[in-house]
Amino acid sequence: MTRLTYIQAITAAMRDEMERDSGVFVLGEDVGVKGGVFGTTKGLQERYGEQRVLDTPLAESAIAGVAIGAAMYGMRPIAEMQYADFMLPATNQIISEAAKIRYRSNNDWSCPVVIRAPFGGGIFGGLYHSQCPESIFFGTPGLKIVAPATPYDAKGLLVAAIRDEDPVIYFEHKKCYQMIEGEVPDEEYIVPIGKADVKREGSDITVITYGLPLHFALQAAEELAAEEEIEAHVLDLRTIQPLDREAILEAASKTGKVLIVHEDNKTGGVGGEVAAIIAEELLYDLDAPIKRLCGYDVPAMPISPTMEKFYMLNKDKVKAAIRELALY
């Protein structure tokens, strides 16, 4: 085991896979000489050359579309979108193309591409460097979508995404890059796509989340256990498409009270689908209404510190929501 930051775990996954498979390559804006605007690809070009760590023109649809073409050829491209906010010019390539290539060709062609996209706020990024755009892609069959929260999951899910036979969008939370550290095995491993993970056992209330707010939920749960004897059960979805129905239902039935937490705004978000799955299967096992704690339904979070803080979730907001539902 080695202690890595979240960003180091992402870099390590790309490095290990590039070492293992000459078909794996990275392309995107500033990924080469600079090593990425966040440093995610730092050192990779020195090691694997300009072709395999390719600085591209500033054109997101081409970054995605070229990666899709290369994937159809048989390569394993990792296309980096500099910020998830800038993915939208590539949505036609991702949704009309990558997601449908296997289906529309009746399984003749496939598109094993990874689209990495730094998402989320809390970094004074303003409207266009802070968004969580997963709901734009969520509900598009043919795509897989992952959003790890820990270094272990970040590495294991990226390796799994690169080896996956289908397109995977890999949302990495910018605020986790340096802030989150954890143990990562030295040997090769994957975290299977489509499997949620219980990050904390508890019997009073279930919290279902993904991404940065997982850490708020875990901190809040520890404090509530110590201070108020409320034991929260915390399920980290890790993969948001396809959702791990079994794990969601198991976690919900464990306590009968469900709080869903995500940074993306509430309306049309992943949480609504999670709630629907529980409502369809377990309504009469619930002891309280399903609650959602999410971003506000405003276009995106503003940069001013007061406004960003107001928008962002934090430990105290999650703690209050857990307490309220636990006492219902």
Binding site for another protein (CB under 8 A): 25, 51-52, 56-57, 59, 61-62, 64-75, 77, 89, 92-93, 96-97, 100-110, 141-142, 144, 165-166
CB 106 within 8 A of CB 154: no
Measured from the CB of residue 164, what is the shortest distance to another protein in angstroms? 8
- Which is nearer to another protein, 8 or 140 (by Cβ)? 140
Report, in Å, the least distance between residue 281 CB and another protein.
21
Residue of 129, 215, 233, 262 with catalytic role: 129
Residue with tokens 């309220």: 324
Strand-pair partners of 170: 116, 146
Question: Which CB atom, from 191 or from 293, has the smaller least distance to another protein?
Answer: 191
Contact criterion met (CB below 8 Å) for 288 and 260: no
d(CA 254, CA 303): 39
Asked about 129 being catalytic, the answer comes back as: yes
CB of 166 to another protein, least distance (A): 5
Burial of 165 (0-12, 13-18, 19+ CB in 10 A): exposed
Q: Helix or strand or coil: residue 30?
A: coil
User: Smallest gap, in angstroms, from Cβ of residue 149 to another protein?
Assistant: 24
Residue closer to another protein, measured from CB, 185 or 242: 242
> How many angstroms separate the CA atoms of 23 and 134, rounded?
27
Please tell me the distance from the alpha carbon of residue 63 to that of residue 82, in angstroms, as a whole number.
Answer: 11
Q: Which is nearer to another protein, 9 or 53 (CB)?
A: 53
User: What is the set of active-site residues?
Assistant: 129
